Chain A
């Protein structure tokens, strides 16, 4: 149970009440302290109530936190927001020294501040009467008491810097520096309104009262009626018990019980008679924060703003920081007077969250943006890696000179941290069936020790991910996904397994973070890796697209596969993550004489572009289906079924889809920025550059581009429109790979 109190201490008006009130308050506080299940939040306010009792609590002025938002789902919400004392509208009601009775009592009783020397008190209720007694006790001379219950009232307060003279309804002038008014209450129904209540005006009590509340919202205290302190406590207690009973019923229902316990009797609380006072015979301020007077409201009605909704927006009454809490009822009363109707009887005010102002920073909360580090991030940082934000991963973009890194790999050996590569451990006898289903190519004959490249399409045939999967043992496979795609693929596989193939024996475990993955690439990679492992790397016995498990640099439970995103002979070593730094340092130590070079994502991207390998999401987009990206050979339409097959069949039959092709500009020094348009003679867009770089290997610019079908043939001339609106000429290459299209460097 959470008890939310807007003031710094519990107690409401009892805090500045008489001895009896203070004793009652002490008893209540003791009762609350005895209940360990009650969490008390002071300096806090429920700012909003939303569907299903989702409540937002603004908590302020804590030792370590200035302001924060607490969100809670209340089984039952008990609103005991009480009432606010309403100011009276008369000439001079904004003068210093004009004060509400609760303010005067608070100053004298709670803070021991004497609010003035000589007072006039206008009272219509017990609060005003009590203020008279409190002021007298504080040594304030009571110059006059005007009893509104007998028709007496205030007409004007005047003075230079504060109240000096008060004129009453009989025309009598009284000298005073304090004018205390107690002319009525405004119920704080905001939370009830937010729960769907439409409070109704009770003229007998001169205030709004709740009408109908949902079952999970209850109200007590001055919000619903009047009574002695004992009566109010008794009512609050009964409401609290009812809320607890209802909450218990809700819990039982959640837990499967079928009983519907009684709603619990909520006693009624009577209301005291109270005269209706809003405005005197003179004009004064209605909205103190927006400087709107009763005269302004009458003038607005005169000008034709004869609806409160319009008059409000015209005069801005109720639109200031107070947001209607203090002034809404007076505004309604005065506007009703202006148009000759009792608006209070027919209208209600709309309260929207937040009830109290909330800082934007509080709503935003702490800036928490999850990031992911590879197990060897510390090494990248200490070697001046330029960080690349790749989704949630922070990766090394390069270590100073990406082109030099490319040359090092092509001529010798380089290492790159590819730990973010998605990895899914697959076990069970039905793994091949799963692979057959989610990849477009064939998997049933993959032998132990072999690796295969696969493309995954969604059901609309659009390419969603690609990667290699290796068979590590008879019933054990390791699937790799793109670095950003691991989560999507994980959900995709789970979706199929749980909804379509629950009987399949497939056990999946996401193990991306379990391995530090380092790709060792370049003609000297076999030499380097061979220095760290007993695994036989001989070209005849560990061929291209094969995988081995074993020990590397003394670390057991590793696997390494021979693949070639960079186009070079390369081994991707996967060691249990905690050993990542160890492996990296060993590679560097043992590769010193080979001038092993760390390379980053940028160098890898250049090399894959030289090889014409596409990147899902870079060279493909949300409309790129399986055919047309250079992997048509992999799509096996003779498989009985696989995800995306019907759409791919239609794509092939339909034709006319864009093709991914290698493009080279005639001027080798021009690198068309990615997304540059490919246009025809009439300047119609016929495609776009999807990837482009300067190739240090070829000493010229290279591109991948999506072009319309009729422009995809090798030798086709293209016009590329650059962002500066100049056009350069280019040609489509016969092969998708700009470099080593036969792949001889991979198969050494």
Chain B
């Protein structure tokens, strides 16, 4: 079950969606280029490096599939100010012309190697944040801390 924290006025939400099934595959999604993501039926697929794809949702049918569900924590940060929160802890330019909807990257968030995917929800700015699982508590606290001034608590 997703754990959700919201700002007072409901504009911002941070959800722990770590339990979503996540898979690593090495072929089968060549249309998704590094730096991009794509929605395919019940799956969200992205790539941040050549010949590797991360798949959210149902298990892909490829031969070599590594289950990443337990390897990565996953948080979803949604709200118009989501990028302003991330800007405090991530040096990546999250401007719309550099990191638009469907963009994906591997970057440092608060000093931790993290995959970041822009996956807007009903037209509202939203990011998936995937550090390694062991950094989950740290990352969750850091995002809450950064979001405090925007009412995330």
Interface residue ranges, A against B (CB under 8 Å): 62-65, 71, 73, 251, 366, 368-375, 393, 419-420, 425, 427-428, 507, 509-515, 557, 576-578
Contact = CB atoms under 8 A, between A and B. Distances in A.
Contact of A393 (B110, B134, B149): B134
B125 interface: no
Residue from A371, A428, A513 whose CB has the most chain B CB atoms within 10 Å: A513
B67 interface: yes
Contacts of A507: 26, 64
Given A63-B149, A73-B93, A578-B19, 11 more contacts: A368-B111, A369-B111, A371-B138, A372-B134, A373-B137, A510-B71, A511-B71, A514-B68, A514-B69, A576-B69, A577-B71
Nearest to B87: A70
A513 B133 contact: yes
Main secondary structure of the interface of B (DSSP, over half): mixed
6 contacts: A62-B149, A369-B111, A373-B137, A513-B70, A576-B70, A577-B70
B111 A370 contact: yes
Given A64-B148, A368-B110, A374-B134, A513 B64 contact: no
Given A65-B149, A509-B24, A370 B135 contact: yes
B79 to A, nearest CB: 16
Interface of B: 19, 24, 26, 64, 66-72, 89, 91, 93, 97, 110-112, 132-138, 142, 145, 148-149
B67 A514 contact: yes
A73 B94 CA distance: 12
Contact of B133 (A251, A375, A427): A375
Contact of B142 (A368, A393, A419, A577): A368
A428 B52 CA distance: 14
A576 B67 contact: yes
Contacts of A513: 70-72, 132-134
A512 B135 CA distance: 12
Contact of B149 (A64, A425, A509, A514): A64
B100 to A, nearest CB: 14
A425 B134 contact: no
In order of increasing CB-CB distance, the 10 nearest A-B pairs are A514-B71, A64-B149, A372-B134, A513-B133, A577-B70, A576-B70, A513-B132, A509-B66, A514-B70, A513-B134
A337 B136 CA distance: 66
Nearest to B136: A373
Nearest to A378: B137
B92 to A, nearest CB: 11
Q: Which of B71, B91, B136 has the most CB of A within 10 A?
A: B71
Contacts of A374: 134
Nearest to A394: B134
Contacts of A419: 134
Contact of A370 (B26, B70, B112): B112
A103 to B, nearest CB: 34
Contacts of A578: 19, 69-70
B68 A368 contact: no
A510 B131 CA distance: 12
Contacts of B145: 366
Contacts of A510: 71, 132
Contacts of B24: 509
Nearest to B89: A368
A366 B110 CA distance: 10
Contacts of B68: 509, 511, 514
Nearest to B84: A39
Contacts of A64: 148-149
A514 B64 contact: no
A514 B18 CA distance: 12
A372 B93 contact: no
A514 B133 contact: yes
A510 B137 CA distance: 19
Given A64-B149, A507-B26, A507-B64, A372 B135 contact: yes
Contacts of B70: 513-515, 576-578
Contacts of A514: 67-71, 133
A512 B132 contact: yes
A513 B74 CA distance: 13
Nearest to A511: B71
A71 B26 CA distance: 37
Given A65-B149, A512-B132, A370 B138 contact: yes
A577 B67 contact: no
A374 B132 CA distance: 11
A420 B68 CA distance: 17
A420 B134 CA distance: 9
B87 to A, nearest CB: 8
Nearest to B64: A427
A426 B133 CA distance: 20
A372 B26 CA distance: 28
Contacts of B148: 64
Max chain B C-beta neighbours (<10 A), residue from A368, A425, A515? A368
A510 B138 CA distance: 20
Nearest to B72: A513
A54 B71 CA distance: 36
Contacts of B66: 425, 427, 509, 511
Contacts of B71: 509-514, 577
A71 B133 CA distance: 29
A557 B67 contact: yes
Nearest to A374: B134
A576 B69 CA distance: 9
A187 B23 CA distance: 60
Contacts of B19: 578
Nearest to B111: A370
Nearest to A498: B50
A425 B25 CA distance: 12
B112 to A, nearest CB: 5
Nearest to A63: B149
B60 to A, nearest CB: 14
Contacts of A373: 134, 136-138
A170 B60 CA distance: 94
A247 to B, nearest CB: 11
Nearest to A494: B49
Contact of A372 (B67, B91, B138, B149): B138
Nearest to A393: B134
Nearest to A371: B138
A368 to B, nearest CB: 5
A62 B24 CA distance: 43
A63 B69 CA distance: 39
A577 B133 contact: yes
A521 to B, nearest CB: 23
Nearest to A70: B87
Contacts of A368: 89, 110-111, 142
Contacts of B137: 373
Most buried by B among A370, A425, A515: A370
A154 B110 CA distance: 58
Contacts of B132: 372, 510, 512-513
